[in-house]
Chains A and B, each alone.
Chain A
Amino acid sequence: MSKANLLDRRQVVSALLANRKDLVAIGGLGASTNDITAAGDHARNFYLWGGMGGAAMIGLGLALAQPKLPVLVITGDGEMLMGMGSLATIGLQKPPNLSIAVLDNEAYGETGGQTSHTSAAADLVGVARACGIAESRAISTMAEVEAFAKAVHDVRAGPRFANVKIDSASVERILPTRDGAYIINRIRGDLGFQPI
């Protein structure tokens, strides 16, 4: 069941990554990782297949290690809810090059579409702001998505958080590699680090 006038997840992620330059993108466990893949495989894509709740913290570790690079976490509402404390950790560190975009369909799409807390009670934008991420916004139009995509490249003005309301329709699964060591070593290689 999809509500009217909600954004298409693939269009949102394509727009976020359209002019990515040197950006590192981290997907969340589930459909957001597939969306990143659908936008085009890239040496700086971090596909998460497990460790649910960890996407934002992986982003924080990377952002702190590479302060000149824009780091963008693109995850789902279920994954973000599981790691909600990490918003407090990020709010405390305030890494200016880290951005988080939550694709919020108010449902656990991977497990049968069960309703998530964001459908009725939880306001992730409010949580992020209350955790110290001042630049937090709710997004409901593609124009806002495109503005956010541009802002992500300003590595001195973050951290920033966006909750993007998307359609809950299922889309074709486009799966990236599941080899975790390959995924992070490919990013490391692209950043100029040698294997140990």
Chain B
Amino acid sequence: MHARADAADTAPTWPDDIFATLQRFDVRQVPYVPDAGHSKLIQRVLDSSTMHGIPLTTEEEGVALLAGAWTGGQRGVLLMQSSGVGNCINMLSLIPILRFPFLTLVTMRGEWGEFNPWQVPMGSTTQGVFELSGVKVLRASNAAEVLAVLEAAAAQAYNALTPTAVLLSQRLIGAKVFTK
């Protein structure tokens, strides 16, 4: 059994800021791999009449899906966790080759009060993996800056065709704690 230290106290509102921004940018397809940090946003997406939430079996599927979505005229955003970024590496090559707008929102593990050592290696290299793959990285570390960071990321991804990842820091989300 586990609970979230920070997020459990009060329901965070920053996922609503993300949802509102994605709506404003006419995002239609939202592939995701289930993740606790994204759970509220995923629920908003699934309840939405304009966005289509698409659960994946592995994150790389989402990169290919967004290439197809754009070819068919729709914008999308990929929701995943830092450990899933490693699953995407080869598929990320589609982004510069096809030159489609790519935005991904990544909840971080392994960087702030982490309990599980197995999360640390991928959490430590997430930013580097993106940068080596040609994806620009922006970071939101506290709730107050989420809206501005999302706005900037969505604008450069969709308007300037600049592949962008937003890392939602573990400090923002709250470290996962395990209790008996």
Contact = CB atoms under 8 A, between A and B. Distances in A.
Given A54-B64, A86-B57, A89-B55, A180 B69 contact: no
B171 to A, nearest CB: 32
Interface residues of A, number: 37
Given A52-B90, A85-B58, A181-B99, A66 B73 contact: yes
Given A57-B61, A86-B57, A89-B61, A193 B69 contact: no
B94 A51 contact: yes
Nearest to A192: B73
A191 to B, nearest CB: 6
B68 A85 contact: no
A71 to B, nearest CB: 8
Given A50-B97, A184-B98, A65 B68 contact: yes
Nearest to A54: B64
Nearest to B158: A196
A54 B28 contact: no
A57 B74 CA distance: 14
Interface in A60-85: 60-66, 69, 83, 85
B71 A58 contact: yes
Contacts of B58: 85
A46 B159 CA distance: 24
A60 B65 contact: yes
Interface residues of B, number: 35
B71 A188 contact: yes
B94 A54 contact: yes
A59 interface: yes
A63 B69 CA distance: 8
A155 to B, nearest CB: 13
Interface string A39-61: 00000001001111111011111
A174 interface: no
Contact of B68 (A50, A62, A93): A62
B48 interface: no
A88 interface: yes
Given A88-B57, A181-B99, A193-B73, A64 B29 contact: yes
Interface of B: 28-29, 52, 54-58, 60-74, 76, 90-91, 93-94, 97-101, 159, 161
11 contacts: A46-B71, A54-B94, A57-B68, A61-B70, A61-B72, A62-B68, A63-B72, A64-B74, A69-B72, A193-B73, A196-B101
Given A54-B67, A61-B69, A196-B101, 14 more contacts: A24-B72, A26-B68, A53-B60, A61-B66, A64-B29, A85-B58, A88-B57, A89-B61, A93-B54, A181-B98, A184-B99, A188-B71, A188-B73, A196-B161
